[in-house]
Structure 1
């Protein structure tokens, strides 16, 4: 891997840390890898497969090394989009290619809707927005309940519901609230509430991310080539269904990538995908119709 240059950027309400790995090849268009609330460390393996390109990763506001300076308890996609605009402008390279996954894909859609001129190609991998799925009302209710459970009962209870929601296949039923709550112990999670309420996923980003409605009019008008993608093993899950709905709204085919929601992971956070195969599919997608 190329040596990493870590930089600091002050934005409205946050101080961001981001990493630039200079590529060894001749491609002068940076590849920006975006997660949320996952920080830059989650892209270590994927970045290693693009050593020929300049790769940029960052910690979103309120996560990892990037602190909020406004004291706010929640973050929203439009705030993340503003951070990303400033980050790309700070690179001074012109339009970038973007691979964005999960909440990062939601934030990237907000970025392109606002400043499509800054992004040449966006691969939006499994953006979990409840606003686009056919079972919208139930999905919004389920996602809100995950956060409410966390605020009421703590991290273990909230995370147990989150895992149950994200791993479930098929639409959420209208009577989902009548279903028994999953036990944290069943997932090896703590059953006691430690009193903390600062989790970046369940507290800070859950509501804003899942309730975000993409501006499809702006996205279709943007100069950016947008590819909505989902993992082969994710079929039927909430985030994959949302990706398919985004693709339908854009009038483009859904790209199917290897593995699952974290298919690019190579052991980060104790999770294993198929990073070599995933990187190959990503490279092919980025190279397709390349200027």
Structure 2
């Protein structure tokens, strides 16, 4: 009994660490990063974040997530690690940037009264890929900018054993308006709007129902590639003190006319996600860099 108990405890710990890690990644990748004035090359801090969001787009069952997390920022000409995620600057000019960008998705439970009841749980996902970004307009004095961003990402689920499995591709072109404090640079806000697209593998990871899991109220279903709905995201960063920072975000999606809207796993065509992060910075470098 003891060896089995030990293995179960190790598996439980690994699964929870995996879920916590993807929750942290989702929190920090939804908040705007600092930019503009000279900033420390690196910063160290600790934060606490929270999320309220459904299991997946199309689910009407919401959950709350809260977790502390370490916060590390590193800034250079080729690589940024900050609250907007990990970005590798492959190319940059005054008007065009080619970056590496990242996104994440939470695990999905299939117990209780969920439309997925009796189906396998869904592992958390991590998405990584290039993002071509075009600066359409910039006002230096008022610190405003308007961007067209074209991220193409490969999605991977993270299994209980830590093994990644490719789950398809997503493409989320969007327009993003950004404004920050012109005098003190103590706050920054961004609003982005755009459609979502993905291939059939990506859609079926969330919305497919195979014959094995057909019930009286859940028919067999397989999704195709194409339109996934639209998304609007508002995020705000506020410098409360020299050491304390607050980030807030709200995201709203609509699934009207999405290629998977007829899936029996889709119970609502509206999606809402809210989140916050409060970060205390306790150390930073004397060396500074200036980012666009």
Same fold (TM > 0.5): no
Larger radius of gyration: 2
- Which structure carries more relative contact order (alpha carbon 8 Å, separation 6+)? 2
The TM-score normalised by the length of structure 1 is 0.29
The TM-score normalised by the length of structure 2 is 0.29
Query: Which one has the bigger strand percentage?
Result: 2
Query: Which one has the bigger helix percentage?
Result: 1
